[in-house]
Structure 1
Amino acid sequence: MTPEQRALLPDPTADLHWSKFRGAIHDIFSENAHSHPDKLCVVETKSATSAHREFTYRQINEASNILGHHLVQSGVERGDVVMVYAYRGVDLVVAVMGILKAGATFSVIDPAYPPERQCIYLDVARPRALINIAKATKDAGELSELVRKFIGENLELRTEIPALALLDDGTLLGGSIDGQDVLEKQVPLKSKSVGVVVGPDSTPTLSFTSGSEGRPKGVRGRHFSLAYYFPWMAETFKLNPNDKFTMLSGIAHDPIQRDIFTPLFLGAQLLVPAREDIQNERLAEWMRDYGATVTHLTPAMGQILVGGASAQFPTLHHAFFVGDILIKRDCRSLQGLAPNVNIVNMYGTTETQRAVSYFEVPSYSSDGGYLDTMKDVIPAGRGMLDVQMLVVNRFEPSRICAIGEVGEIYVRAAGLAEGYLGSAELSQKKFLTNWFVDPKTWAEKDAAESQGTNEPWREFYVGPRDRLYRSGDLGRYTPSGDVECSGRADDQVKIRGFRIELGEIDTHLSRHPLVRENVTLVRRDKFEEPTLVSYFVPDMGKWASWLEQKGLKDDDSAEGMVGMLRRFRPLRDDVRDLLRSKLPAYAVPTVFIPLKRMPLNPNGKIDKPALPFPDTAELSAAAPQRRPSALKSLSETEQALAQIWANRISNVTAPMIGPDDSFFDLGGHSILAQQMFFDLRRKWRGIDISMSAIFRSPTLRAFAAEIDRLLNFESFTSNDDNTEAAAVANEPDDEYSRDARRLVDTLPKTFPARAEDILATEPTIFLTGATGFLGAHILRDLLTRKSPSAKVVALVRGKSAEQALARVRSTCRAYGFWEESWASRLECVCGSLGDARFGLTEAAWDDLTNRVDAVIHNGALVHWVYPYSTLKPANVLGTIDALKLCATGKPKQFSFVSSTSVLDSDHYVLESERSIAAGGAGISEDDDLEGSSVGLGTGYGQSKWAGEYLVREAGKRGLKGTIVRPGYVLGDSGSGTTNTDDFLIRMIKGCIQLSARPNINNTVNMVPVDHVARVVIAGAFRPPVSPIGVAQVTGHPRLRFNQFLGALQLYGYNVPQVDYVPWSKSLEQYVNSGEHDDPESQHALMPLYHFVTADLPSNTKAPELDDVHAAASLRADAAWSGVEASAGAGVTEELVGLYASYLVSVGFLPAPSASATGTRPLPAVTITDDQKDAMAGVGGRGGTA
């Protein structure tokens, strides 16, 4: 960071005035009552069951004195918890202030909570007194028998007030016991202070927040925080005694404290709405009618305020938002009704109490264009007075993040809560002593400053505590020094191995013009599979015009869930299309559910457990209604296929599926596709259909046509003389090669030649795919080389360069290597393969062309069943962009990471056998690849063939470099770090799961990742031939499958060799038994099930490869790398043991049987906790950025 940037960020060693206690909030309120006793304090506005009621400061003060005296005289002691069975209104204000005057801790039960949860609150709080507000028992009923039983059996109450009520004239009643009101004896004391002294570390509040396993945590507040920040807020936000505040927060939610304490501190007025006014349209009218000037809202309550409303309320000048992410759309809606409102987004938690950050959006009347300059999510901003928002490096907590760098947010303040009631261990994990400064500093300063003073509150003060609250939220500093949140450290979910950010889905969904509110969750379907579900509330004000633009008619013929699903089906499709354009396919939700409104819990937040999940019958009823004749019009194959899909896809029935419905739109995914292919083989015996067919032809009609073509072919082949059958069988698949030849015309005409040695000065390398397994090892190799040192510019997907750098850092840590010194020589640019110019701006592109010396194009979309058309944007067009980068500016050299899958054809297997028989080394690196221009079986191999063709054509136009062809890229030869999503590693686990290994004697071209990385770099800087040559990476030694899998037995695993056919049958039985559907026991080979069970011995036959060019490159590279590696490297039985040891350490494999005799022990490997934490987010071999 520059000194200017550092000056913008908080100093974690600064004094935050730990001992500056302003006094207790209830004492300040009492002083206000004595200063202006007849001023209005609380106004309960008219409701359906109650008249308009007004109460002065004197009335509230006297009533709370009565209650406080009663509690003290009943034996309630300082710090005891008093539970309030509450109702929104003046009685709650009296109860809170009375409890605080008694020196006790108030906590609230909301009658809306179910009895079971009320019992949990009571169990956590262990109150010594209970106050029932009369309106609560009248409205919601008495405490249930279950709660009463819990109280009787588990609590020892010193007093219970059966029916607290403040009458219209200010008389306070507590309810009658034995014919006498329980508060009658204390009425004469109404003008006398209760006189209980409290200090900054006394506990005034016990608030509940969510905890593990559904059990809420009780957060113990401190008196310090309740009053400390109000003078600063009054000055900063122009709050004054003439303001009218609102009581809109959930009565059991800690923001209710802000609703109550802010006006009482300032001597202002608190407006309480009737329950029926807290709903769409009505709430805006209420704000207008009563002239509210300041409000505290959650974003969900804000949406209720503006939802369907037209009433303007110009008196509102400040709206403070807490509790959730605030988005620009909601700010616009609010300022549309309240043009004079400044919106303040406050970031904090129950644990930080009043110590929060703030970001202020000026009113529309003062700056109408301000929101146009903002991102979609309003920043958290910066800390209020003596509050610091520290964004800390997640892996090196001693380092504050630089501007733009993503880290974890810690809140530093004197006003943090005490901790969690009854959970010292959790408190120690979340409330941490500040490690940036010696805590003795503040104790010594306080001792010096307090010498000679005799402040009574110091008896209840443990002294200065410089603590940080660990929020678990991720964020970054902006160039202005504000903090913007970027999700939860734990807000990622993992579905079918893909890590998904729910917040990212919701951000994109909220941008649809017809989506007013939305939230995305993971729900379990009927098969207990995790399913992404997005809930959204349509903006009905725009619905009719949107339908008209689409040429559609509204269908509101059905009621309930079915009616909503049917009516908003066009919007669902439009929303899905939007998300498809913004997110990877695996992150697009399977189910979209429209709602009239979001259910809210009593705290004003979206009540996620209450969100409905439709059953199959409802989804079926909401599906497009097809006439019986339409169903009959489906072909026999289509009908059978529809039933197979319905059996596999949750919440889908066969009649719901039309000929143009897509397998994936219905909820299918790659794992279900594997299972579906097993069903196909059982239905149509012997059918051999490629997995890529479902991606190429995903609709019912198109996929059924694929099946019919194969069925027709089988019938043709029953006649040996059938020429039509021969034509079908020999139909060439050469679209990829024809496409490559067409794309040559898009290449630059010439490439500049480099005169001087590329290593004459420190080179700058542009690297794609740095967050993949191989890419990270290429990066490590580059950054560890010296004389000269290299600088790397990595293309990485991310919202900012800093977030992209964090992704790379996390990836490297996951693989067991990262040195912070690398950051000075590593630059990340945000972009993605497949986007034009990688999605870079023209200025960024031009900058790269003028300073990059070499391009290592390693990034790719790696998927073994996607068709060529799906892979083309990333793998072919992305390669063209990488080549174009070399065509202008500084002359560059090029290394393209291809794959031996370009040789996966019968032609090269036969050529290899002929070469070996004649004494040769296998397929030559000089081969022009025309032998596989037709008939490559995978879209991935086809895309790499096209990429190679284009690179060779660029070589003819002057580009210098190398095409590198790795085979199977296995783990690091030193650490054993391995990519668990590799086919061969899955084979290892799969064999252990089956307790058997197949007899396959083919050789396997496996090479450790560190050696492959070295070849890639050597190819870029020391090309073996000019202009473009091929370096084939082949294993030395090259084990056979039987040797590779047999090594497991050497290390104690029970995997006896069996013939392939029975092994394949046992795999089928394992997968389809129904006993291994959970993620933990699901078979490792499930994603490759079709490939493995089709004909693995034939499918794994591969040609032997010559590697003369690779060896020449490595010899020339030795001067820079310091390693003479031209002899090559391979996977040995010893390395298999190292890999297995690593896989056991990370929990991917079980440990071998301890009872096995005559076996080798697994070698020792070291996996740090830091490495384990980082592993969850790593990718595969390439990665599309």
Structure 2
Amino acid sequence: MKFSTLTDLLHYRSLNQHNKKNYTYLQDGETEAGSLTYQELELKARAIAASLQSLNATGERVLLLYPPGLESIAGFFGCLYAGAIAIPAYPPRPNQSLSRLQAIVTDSQAKVALTTTPLLAYLEGRFAENPELAKIHLLATDNIASDLGADWQKPTVSSDHLAFLQYTSGSTGTPKGVMISHGNLLHNLEISHQAGEFTSDSHTVTWLPFGHNTGLLTGVIQPLYSDFPVTIMSPLDFLQKPWRWLMAITRYKATQSLAPNFAYDLACFQTTAEQRAMLDLSSWELAVSGAEPVRAETLDRFVATFEPYGFRREAFNPAYGMAENVVGISLGLKKQLPIVHNIEKAALEQNRVVVAVGESESTQKIVSCGRTWLDQKILIVDPESLTPCSANQVGEIWVSSPSVAQGYWQQPEATEKTFQAYLADTGVGPFLRSGDLGFLLDGELFVTGRLKDLIIIRGRNHYPQDIELTVEKSHPALQPSCGAAFSVEVESEEQLVITQEIKETDLEKLNVDQVVKAIRQAVLQQHELQVYAVLLLNAGSIPKTSSNKIQRHACRVGFLDNSLDVVGQWYLTESKLYPSPEAEISHQQEFEQQSQTTETIQAWLVHKISQQLKINPQDIDVQEPLTSYALDSVQAVNISGELENWLGRRFSPSLLWDYSTIEKLTQHLVSGSEASDLDSSMDWNAEVILDPTICLGNRQVELVTEPAAIFLTGATGFLGAFLIQELLEQTQADIYCLVRSANEESGKRRIQKNLESYELWHENYSSRIIPVLGDISQSQLGLGDEQFQKLASQIDTIYHGAALLNYVFPYERFKPINVLGTQEVLRLASQVKVKPVHYISSVAVFESSAYDQKVVLESDQLAHSEGMYLGYSQSKWVAEKLVMMARDRGLPVCIYRPPFISGHSQTGVWNTDDIICRMIKTCIEMGSIADLDQKLDLSPVDYVSQAIVYLSRQKESLGKAFHLSNPQPINWKKLGDLLRSFGYKIEQLSYEDWQTQLENNVRSPENPLYPLLPFFVKRWTEKQLTITEIYQQSRRMQISCQETLAALANTDIVCPPMESNLLSTYLSYFKRSGFLTVISKQ
């Protein structure tokens, strides 16, 4: 059956095969964590499309910034159903440059980006740093209710309409978006369908990222087109343990899977004999190798390694393609042995093809990439004369096909040069110029190299001029415009080499190690590439043309024959880049025989990092930033996988990116082990250090009864939004809001967007909200001396609510914001004129076991910190002690301690990222709730904000603390009863049974409690209790709020109990916002 668009195709599948489960996601690469049927996918796509249409995104470009998972598939089709043009991309990692993403946005003029709720706040924070990205409207699609699809309007879309833009790894200043239409896609899908001989009984396993055209086509669109199921895992999970890929093929009896050449090598080098013994690869009929040059040595190695476990050599199917032709240009015949020829090297260097009888040192093995299919045509053309090459001659690969894309987005000159080539002798065309060199032999395409200087490593394209620019900026001793980046083959893999001139003035004092380290670190951070060799050259010696252009080819030749004028050099290693795990067994056994102490774990990390980098372990400083060691993503993820095996615990593949130094990573690993509990036994008083200059001194406190200017931190948070509204309504003051942003306009937009998200925004607020561009974690709040002093003189009162809230992070992650940020706020209060500080703390400061079974009054001293387990609680305790220390030095302060903050009591608006929201949703979805002897202390946000603003305006409040707890808390059993009263089927389980069910269910990032799983399962103390078990009511304190209630007695500010009416309001909001999609029986 013929279709003109992908949306027509999906609609057909949804109508006729609605219950067929086609997409399955493996969390951690092993555990099924979710699936999608055709009907579920279409319903989600329509709902997302309706949301996009409400943003006027039809015909516009829309960024896709998803983590690996099923939501990205729905987001892609949501764009198509909206008539928008999708732009698959990768969410930036922490500390990763935003330059590529900014270049894409600048070129495409995208106004909307789709993502998930867990990524939303992170992306908002990162985008605020960049004026261009700050304009993007971020939309979390996992919270969109499926019934919104009823509002979807079918757009007019034909086969000529663009489906998506695939941005190539072009020069960062001038990225190129390949325009791919529905017609291009459908033609290329039919080629793959016929070449692969796909049927509904086929099954593919993929880990390729959907941000790249190969992953998107093979893992998302081809299964839809050919109607077969696909099993998906994250690329990080594959890199962490390549065995997972092969095990998934075994488990699901997959018939095909595509991967770049390096992945087949990884599978050989990074699997053990024990792991391989568990495999059965006999179902694997089509092992496509593409996206980078295919090596004969890799094919031989993989067959030799995995043939005993069912893999057959004829399953290998090397292929060739490029984004400008959707994906596939040539593919081999199914079940045909790969064709490999020995070619004379000398002839090849002269662009001639001479096939040798046998293999020798003078020959080179070249693997066929298959043949053309359907009406697609491949020509070999002389790139200079633009005429067809004769037989047995190497030339540029040209392609003519309905798969050829429409050109480059908004770049007519580049489009004409690449997509509109014509033969000079006959005028036949147009053709796509690939920029790759090759030849045809017996109808088979052999790719020999690149016409351009493009570097392809691990399936990704890198332009040398980008890398060269990064290098020359990395150290002041390097001569600008006098470097060359190129690749060489080392042990069957492409590796990056840098040659760079040194300035003549720096030759005598040259520190080779320092310069090399700067180069390697810069290249890793900007391009995620490991450098194989760095050659520092004498001034004026790098090969150049007569017009002063760098001759990269001559540099490469000089590197290979040692003819360059080198003044300093560094090589990664001469040994294998991927050593066999068996070679490490004896060293690993040494570690396994030792206990897992701080010293042992740290030594293990040093050994593994030095092994990956091929450097002396003594050269590694555990207090140096991990980024300085230039580990690439493959190496970092490999280490986390080996760490899992050794410690017997699960870790995120991104573990090494989450900690700044080896020392801090070691501390995390030790504190996280079940046998230790370092943080809970620390003396937190040692952390309470307040700069002695923060004091009243000889000044008098002159309080302003009606402040004209109020300074607020935490303005983009949940409580912060309601405090802004309350302060604007109850005072005439201007509100100066600390916000991280590139400029005042984007900063104000962030604040407005936050207020809008909680249904609080009014246009008349705008003139009284003044963004202060800074950073709570930085000295002087990230402001310069002059600006800090100016702000200190302008404001009359401070409300400090900014805090990092997380139930998993260690204390060190909280300290810069929660502790040091509080010190800087107190510093601001003490400068120029003394200003009162209204500090928003938490009842979590009483987490210490010393308060167990006691009633804690507002007037009680904050004396105990022993037995505190959560990093958040520890940081709030230390911060509050700083505030008390400032109070003792004469500064006017007031402390407010809220419990869990719930949604607005009238509108139900709530921050659905909150742990209680996540708990309620999970309990409803799992159909169970834990039978906990534990009170649930929830105060609505309107009560908390109104109480804080009222109390802060009473002179008698200064110096006091107030407990904003709910005077009528409920327990979890009562919450379960209330939910059941609304028709939800919820079983009451013991905590142990509920925890087991939770661990079995919460394996997908899409599950609301996924980010908090460590909070529920980590065990502490010698009794090995979870936090929830520690907090059982029988062992916990009671928070008294009698003094607070007395202070509010003559107002209408009342905290409502968590009863049926209030819960009904919250559940209504959950449904209205799309947070909760499970329908009750009522």
Q: Name the TM-score, length of structure 1 as normaliser.
A: 0.43
Tell me which structure has the larger Cα radius of gyration.
Answer: 1
Calculate the TM-score normalised by the size of structure 2. Answer: 0.47
